[in-house]
Structure 1
């Protein structure tokens, strides 16, 4: 998640951030060249993906922004959903689904096809 100021005519549709504030740009950048156009960024508090490190301009170009969840692999919820789907699929294939209930039972029919009265 990042926050920037929308500018329909600006590069990347975000307002520039320069050293000094102006009418059409924000102030507070540490450098004039390759300053990021991001006002705030959701990032880790520690490590190599902190907000401060990500918003520092690279020597040869703009900063590189990394997503918050940089872990590899599937989330645990997906594994649980996959397991439940497999178990449910196995049960449906192994034993056919039989729906029973009092509302499905009709009257007992005799040999002539007429309801038997008891």
Structure 2
């Protein structure tokens, strides 16, 4: 039974639409906590129930988190090593954003496609 214009829980459409949330939710964690493994225990208690309600497997949720975290690390100005690399190359942060933005959009589109495919296939 469909309510409020949303697909029924457990349907393939609900899974593919619900899985788009984790990459967007990782931004606060990726921009404030820069180590690779630290954001996982902070964000998974939030993302796991959302994924279960949406009918998405745990593996797909972790895949979405990792892809979202990697995408945000390409743009995050709070990473010390990232800023050190930019400074060594004498590239301003604004120039980096202008340069990487088209590539980032293509990669984000590919990530969303892979995540939606994993959700629809029931990647486990």
TM-score where L is the length of structure 1: 0.24
Larger Rg: 1
If each structure's strand is expressed as a fraction of its own residues, which one has the higher value?
1
